[in-house]
Structure 1
């Protein structure tokens, strides 16, 4: 049991390095690892607890640069639909939903790269993006890459982008935890594991924050676009 805890804590630290520097990606690493060791039924709720703590730390490290107006608009639709998605978590096939998200991500990045589709940085993008992100996050455990794509369209500075996206993710995870508590019987030891993983994510987030502080906005956007494609391929193949 101790070995399992160590593996999951180290995985959480590495996941936070990724999500702390790109705004997403941590859950893509942690979900299959968690499923292997604790089972598919409680992997998503445990991951949600860990992600809540990790996103709170991302918020804290960039608190002064959060764009609260964008966060509020995104959350208007993200929160109710994350509750709906969490309700459907126990009904729909997780692998089908995950592959669907992966295919959409790859398509969005390709369309944006070739300028076939231009993300308009306006309120409608935030509201619609919040709806899709919230619903899929509740269903599949995470839809961070889609939320990241929405906030990336506004050309925010790296820290502002990371912290603002984290603020919306934090709110979504709180809603999901409440709903999962009603749907899934999560044992106390699994909750404790989620808390330990969350603490490990704080340290990973701090190191990532130091890394992106000195990154130029243009370089950062290309870096995130590449990771979006990688995330999409991973989700499409792995399910």
Structure 2
């Protein structure tokens, strides 16, 4: 087995964009990874990749961690990522890829067209948002976009937002890594990429933080949504070509 360095370069770009845009790298990493590996291998790699990138974010953006959101969003996220992770083994991988592609397209278009959409900042919505983001992370490999939308309602300072989101994400990834390993998603191929993805998580987060100082997050958020839309369309197009040969 050879290491694909183009894939690693794209993973670095995904980490930088995910850090700046506030959506997390998995929303870019998972669909990109699907062009190189099977869906279940990508789920395993995503969990490994995220553990390192979120440790970096917690360290670099550690000031202002919101403990209340950590409880209301983090706990249901962990519970539902385990459920989603187990269900991913039952569901057909092609179906999950289609759901992922449609999710990315619908999510990006919704917030590009209706940028004023907000979630009310209350305990109920925090728990619902945490549950949905955890379930999506376990089943599809990415749930940061849903969590980001939920957390945005609380109007946190930029560093506090990233630190809290990263800590919740770390809890999610730590939990689903065991589920994915039990499902057989983490084998020799995935472990071969472990040191590279760990390094990319550290470097990408650091570069993202540096760039964030010079680019207004709201402008980059819109650009990130356009990227998500294009990746979603590319995912659906790839599946169509695969289906029709």
Indicate the TM-score class for this superposition, using the shorter chain for normalisation.
0.7 to 0.9
Report Cα offsets for 1:44-65 as digits up to 9, x if no partner. Answer: 1012101111111111101122
Asked if 1:234 corresponds to 2:231, the answer is yes
Structure 2 Cα separation of the partners of residues 227 and 185 of structure 1: 28
Question: Post-superposition shift, 1:103?
Answer: 4.6
CA contact (8 A) 2:27 2:143 kept: no
Structure 2 Cα separation of the partners of residues 236 and 165 of structure 1: 27
Give 1:85-96 correspondences, 5 Å limit. 85-92=84-91, 93-96=95-98
Question: Post-superposition shift, 1:222?
Answer: 4.4
Aligned to 1:46: 45
Q: CA RMSD in A?
A: 2.4
Asked if 1:105 corresponds to 2:107, the answer is yes
Asked if 1:55 corresponds to 2:92, the answer is no
Residue 108 to residue 165, structure 1, CA distance change in 2 (3 Å): farther
Residue 84 to residue 23, structure 1, CA distance change in 2 (3 Å): same
Aligned to 2:145: 145
CA contact (8 A) 1:101 1:236 kept: no
Asked if 1:157 corresponds to 2:154, the answer is no
Residue 39 to residue 237, structure 1, CA distance change in 2 (3 Å): closer
Structure 2 Cα separation of the partners of residues 106 and 68 of structure 1: 29
CA contact (8 A) 2:74 2:168 kept: yes
Structure 1 Cα separation of the partners of residues 123 and 110 of structure 2: 19
Asked if 1:72 corresponds to 2:63, the answer is no
Structure 2 Cα separation of the partners of residues 172 and 3 of structure 1: 27
Residue 82 to residue 221, structure 1, CA distance change in 2 (3 Å): same
Residue 3 to residue 75, structure 1, CA distance change in 2 (3 Å): closer
Question: Post-superposition shift, 1:214?
Answer: 5.6
How many residue pairs align between the two structures? 233
CA contact (8 A) 1:58 1:166 kept: yes
Runs of 4+ in 1 over 4 A off after TM superposition: none
Question: Post-superposition shift, 1:36?
Answer: 3.6
Question: Post-superposition shift, 1:122?
Answer: 2.0
Q: Which structure 1 segments of 5+ residues have no match? A: none
Question: Post-superposition shift, 1:39?
Answer: 2.8
Q: Which moved more, 1:171-180 or 1:95-104?
A: 95-104
Question: Post-superposition shift, 1:229?
Answer: 5.0
TM-score by length of 1: 0.85
Report Cα offsets for 1:6-57 as digits up to 9, x if no partner. Answer: 2233222212211121222522433344334343331210121011111111
SS at 2:34 equivalent:
helix
